Structure formats: C-alpha cells, structure tokens
Structure 1
C-alpha cells in the first residue's frame, strides 16, 4: 500500500520526466502500370507533377519489374497530382486527388468506354456502307440526263 506522500512523490517524478508522443500519418500512393494485355510496364519511366506545376516534375523514377511504383505526396499541396508513365512508346496519365476528401483508389484506362463505343459504331457503319455499296444492282450506263427513265 502506498502512502499519500509516496504517491505524490511518484507523481512528481512522472511530471519531472514527462514524455510526449507525436505521430504523423502519411499517405503513400501505390500504382501499378500494365498494358492492355495485362503485362506489367516493367521499367516504365515515371514523372510525378505537383498540383499546378506541370512544367517541371516533382519526382522522376522508374517502375519495378512488376510495373509497381509508390510515392508519398506532400499533403501540404492539396489538389490533383498528375502521374505520367511511359515505356516503349506507350504511356498513360492519371490524376490523383490529394487532400481531405481523397478517394482510397482509382484507375486510368488508355481507352474510355465512350471511345470504345465510337470505334465499334464506326466499324459497324463501315461494314454497312461497304455491304450497301457492293449490293446495289449493276445496270448499264444511265441515259443522257442521268435518269433511268428517259421520259422524266
């Protein structure tokens, strides 16, 4: 059992040698760059641009063998961080929002759904046009005046 005096003495000791703990949570952005065939962009060149500073990269490095790359943005610079990854003439760009309402994940595709729909529509229109062109009836030359019926 501790007497009040001893208890006060221990408290005094604790106050004399106080401690302070601090922490800072840092957000690390993890990216993986892959081609459309799911092959990693091994050794892809990475350029990271801070918000509003697209003229000079904030960081430059390379992806590892599996196409992975990580960086810790400066949380004092909220906004869209732009990441460019290039390899063998192929590349991708992704904008990563950094700040209070930062999403936990995101992705970028080299071709959007709208672009795919337009490409499919264009191919189908091309097939239809080609089929109609070759399916029209071939007849002899048109009479003078350009009409089949010469009386009109």
Structure 2
C-alpha cells in the first residue's frame, strides 16, 4: 500500500525517552526500544502523564536526529499533552503516512523496513529528519508519519 501525504499541525507529547540507533535496535543485546515500551506500560505512564489532552492514541516520537538513518536519534514513548515541562513538540509539516495492522512488535519493524525500502526506491523524496512519529490506535494498528520536505 502506498503512503499518503498529509500536512500535520504541531502537537506536544510527553513520556519516557531513550537515545538509540537503528544498528543498536537490530541487536537484541543492545536494543533499547523494547525496554522503553515495557517501562512505559509497566509504570502506566499513559495513565499518569499530566496535561493529557483528548487524543487517546499512544505515540512513539523520533527526534533529535544526529544525521540520517545511520545516526543516533531519540525516541519518546508517550501521549499527547496540551502543555507541560519536558514535553516534546512534534513539528508541523508534511508527512508521508504508512499504515499497517498486525501483531506487535513485528508490525512496527516490518513497517519501518517498508519505509526504508520506499525512500530507497524514491530518491526524489527528501526526509526531513526532524520529527517522525508512530501513532497507535490500538494493540494491532499503527500509522507511521515520516517528515518530508
């Protein structure tokens, strides 16, 4: 399925964050994201985050990119908030949205592989590497938004 290009207004997310690389995430010994999401759910961060707004989705926000797909980046597992100290702003702009349904976490890793393949096949598209985000509508549905110029 082809992604859909959408303009996204800026919004804020608060939660837990780690810094990682795609190389580290491919190795279970160095992967940080499963622990991040485990902590997010174990500590019920989604239920205790102050200033949560009406958006019930959970978010994985990619930010603080060092460079490109090969560099380090931050990932925040969180919820949409109206304000608050320490919240992260997802930048306004155009995003390609890749949607998928299936079993986690294979659903997410498979969709990111689809995204990398898509950008490799479409060199005319330029990723912004500012903020990207995963929006989870349920336990088996994700929409990954990748910022483009």
What TM-score, normalized by structure 2, do the two folds share?
A: 0.24
Name the structure where strand makes up a greater proportion of residues: 2
Structure scoring higher RCO (CA < 8 A, sep ≥ 6) equals 2
Q: Report which of the two structures shows the higher radius of gyration computed on alpha carbons.
A: 1
